């Protein structure tokens, strides 16, 4: 659909093939009208039809907002008998008529049709019914589910929040960096990677040792889909000061949970001249900004979620906005868990990773609030995290932090990075990494190194938190999970 800049905001030229040039009004704008309108053109999909003796009610939705608009099609319309019978749920239609104040209750405006045309019929096999469907069923018809109330709302919020991500960082003078999707570094430690290759898998080139010869591959070496843009982000942070990435991320783990996907979108800010405390503050501000933005710009959609998905959603979002997030060191967290008197499936002890049950207890039961846990044992965290000064030898920690939220668990993971060359090399040795593969990363510490920190926010997990939708597959247009890459 072509947009014409001369038209008022929200109007779109109906079609270059139209008999006349009346502009399309989006249903969102029609519902927000401040005055009646004698000539209006609506285009959208029929949600439901109710027939009276001498006319029909049609509820029309075009995805621009949650609500549909009520259209009155009178039996005196010349094509009424033929067309109205075809106006089933799901059909696409074009309506010309008058926007008038509704005689019925339940809506302010409605459209009395003077012309009514079915553009695309939807017969009885159309899978979306007026009744509610299970999320599992809707996943199987991911090509049609955006036409449902829930998924329309989810993807409107997704779009808005993606925009808000940029607004937040741009307003703080962060530079947006496009880090590569294809990467040759296979030891970032963030999980299994998808191999990228153009080699003939049936008959790959082999070296003298009979092993597949990766030097014959497209890039002359083994390559993978990125699991994180962080290392490249650090390159730009140590040049442009404040940067962020926002793009797709890939993990080839065989994870079958409601909060893992093989392809997801991650936001990774990286801040030069910043320590862990500053990193935690930025994370908290960021999360609150996104929530506030959704509440402001997606109010109707959020109300829908709180009515049909999670009754406590709005109260929880307000609560999160009102309170400062709790900050709790790993060592304190372990003490809390040990003193809780709970029977843990996974035992708690200093040095062991916090398990989901532990994280859930901290954020949902003990603090009842988002919690940032920081300073984790060095042995269980990544090589690039900054070694904490002055630790007891058997309790060495690094400046890592995880932001935990009720219902979802970890939504952000971040750290202050090790900026000291000697300590970084020590960390790499500890994790058995080959320095040669990271020569450029080490160079950042050789030349003008600065303290810096950053984190990764899982965009879909944030959407789950904001919408109350409890499965990650339902906040991604087309989810990629083990065994599933449909559409």
Partner RNA sequence: UGCCCGGUAGCUCAGUGGCAGAGCAGGUGACUGUUAAUCACUUGGUCGCUGGUUCGAUCCCAGCCCGGGCAGCCA
Beta bridge partners of 328: 373
Separation CA 123–CA 310 (nearest Å):
33
Could you tell me if 276 and 289 are in contact, meaning their C-beta atoms sit under 8 angstroms apart?
no
Judge whether 473 and 481 are in contact, CB under 8 Å.
yes
- Nearest-approach distance from CB 482 to RNA, in angstroms: 6
User: Would you say 205 or 477 has its CB closer to RNA?
Assistant: 477
**Nearer to RNA (CB atom), residue 169 or residue 214:** 169
Q: How far apart are CB 144 and RNA at their closest, in Å?
A: 11
Residue number, 217 or 249, with CB nearest to RNA: 249
Place of tokens 């405006």: 109
> Using the 8-state DSSP alphabet, how is residue 366 labeled?
I
Q: Check: CB of residue 109 under 8 Å from CB of residue 102.
A: yes
To RNA, the closest distance from the beta carbon of 354 in angstroms equals 8
Q: Residue 369 CB, nearest distance to RNA (Å)?
A: 18
What sign has the CA pseudo-torsion 13, 15, 17, 21? negative
> How near is the Cβ of 307 to RNA at its closest, in Å?
11
Kindly tell me which of 114 and 255 has the beta carbon lying closer to RNA: 255
Q: Which is nearer to RNA, 1 or 124 (CB)?
A: 124
The two tokens of residue 59 are 């509820």
Of the two residues 217 and 383, which places its CB atom closer to RNA in the complex?
A: 383
Contact 11, 64 (CB under 8 A): no
Rank residues 233 and 456 by Cβ distance to RNA and give the closer one: 456
Q: Which of 9, 449, 463 is nearest to 238 (CA)?
A: 449
| Closest separation in Å from C-beta 14 to RNA | 25
- Looking at residue 309, what DSSP letter applies? T
| Mutual angle of helices 421-430 and 439-446, in 10-degree steps | 150
3-state SS, residue 186: coil
Residue placing its CB nearer to RNA in the complex, 192 or 332: 192
Dihedral (C-alpha) 184, 441, 233, 181: value to the nearest 10 degrees? 0
| Shortest Cβ 249–RNA spacing (Å) | 7
Q: Which of 24, 206, 141 is nearest to 478 (CA)?
A: 141
Residue 15: C-alpha distances to residues 98, 113, 116 (Å): 20, 19, 16
Angle at 52 between CA 51 and CA 55, to 5 degrees: 85
CB of 355 to RNA, least distance (A): 3
Query: By the 8 A CB rule, do 274 and 452 touch?
Result: yes
Q: What are phi and psi of 390, to 5 degrees?
A: 75, 25
At closest approach, how far in Å is the CB of 293 from RNA? 19
Hey, what are 377's tokens? 């044992």
- Which CB sits closer to RNA, 19 or 53? 53
Q: Which runs of E-coded beta strand occur in 253-332?
A: 263-272, 326-329
Q: Shortest approach of RNA to residue 219 CB, angstroms?
A: 25
Shortest distance in whole angstroms from residue 321 CB to RNA: 20
CB 298 within 8 A of CB 311: no
Distances (CA, A) of 381 to 210, 417, 428: 36, 12, 12
Nearer to RNA, 101 or 296 (CB): 101
With respect to RNA, which residue has the nearer C-beta, 15 or 484?
484
């Amino acid at each position: 659909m072509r947009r014409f800049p001369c038209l008022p905001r929200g109007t779109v030229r109906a079609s270059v093939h139209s008999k006349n040039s009346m502009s399309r009004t989006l249903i969102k704008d029609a519902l927000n009208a401040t005055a009646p309108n004698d000539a209006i053109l609506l285009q959208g999909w029929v949600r439901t039809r109710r027939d009276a003796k001498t006319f029909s009610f049609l509820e029309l939705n075009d995805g621009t907002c949650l609500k549909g608009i009520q259209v009155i099609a009178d039996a005196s319309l010349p094509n009424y008998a033929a067309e109205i019978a075809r106006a089933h749920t799901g059909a696409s239609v074009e309506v010309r008529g008058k926007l008038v104040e509704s005689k019925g209750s339940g809506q302010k405006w409605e459209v009395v049709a003077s012309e009514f045309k079915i553009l695309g019929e939807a017969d009885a096999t159309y899978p979306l019914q007026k009744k509610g469907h299970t999320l599992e069923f809707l996943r199987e018809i991911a090509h049609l589910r955006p036409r449902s109330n829930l998924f329309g709302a989810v993807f409107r919020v997704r779009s808005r929040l993606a925009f808000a991500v940029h607004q937040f960082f741009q307003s703080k003078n962060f530079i947006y960096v496009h880090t590569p999707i294809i990467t040759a570094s296979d030891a970032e430690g963030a999980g299994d990677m998808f191999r990228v290759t153009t080699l003939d898998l049936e008959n790959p080139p082999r070296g003298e040792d009979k092993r597949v010869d990766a030097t014959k591959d497209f890039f002359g070496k083994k390559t993978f889909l990125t699991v994180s843009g962080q290392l490249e982000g650090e390159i730009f942070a140590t040049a442009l000061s404040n940067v962020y990435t926002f793009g797709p991320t890939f993990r080839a783990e065989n994870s079958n949970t409601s909060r893992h996907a093989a392809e997801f979108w991650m936001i990774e800010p990286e801040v030069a001249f910043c320590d862990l405390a500053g990193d935690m503050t930025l994370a908290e501000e960021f999360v609150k900004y996104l929530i506030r933005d959704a509440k402001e710009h997606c109010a109707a959609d959020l109300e829908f979620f709180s009515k049909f998905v999670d009754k406590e959603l709005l109260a929880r979002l307000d609560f999160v906005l009102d309170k400062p997030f709790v900050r709790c060191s790993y060592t304190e967290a372990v003490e809390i868990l040990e003193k809780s008197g709970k029977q843990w499936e996974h035992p708690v002890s200093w040095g062991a990773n916090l398990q989901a049950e532990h994280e859930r207890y901290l954020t949902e039961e003990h603090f009842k609030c988002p919690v940032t846990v920081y300073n984790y044992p060095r042995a269980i965290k990544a090589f690039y995290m900054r070694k904490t000064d002055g630790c007891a030898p058997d309790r060495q920690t690094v400046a890592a932090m995880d932001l935990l939220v009720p219902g979802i668990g970890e939504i952000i993971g971040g750290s202050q990075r090790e900026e000291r060359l000697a300590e970084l090399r020590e960390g790499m040795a500890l994790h058995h990494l080959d320095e040669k593969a990271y020569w450029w990363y080490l160079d950042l510490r050789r030349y003008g190194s600065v303290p810096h920190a950053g984190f990764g926010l899982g965009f879909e997990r944030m959407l789950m938190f904001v919408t109350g939708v409890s499965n990650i597959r339902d906040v991604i247009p087309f989810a990629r999970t083990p065994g599933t890459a449909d559409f």
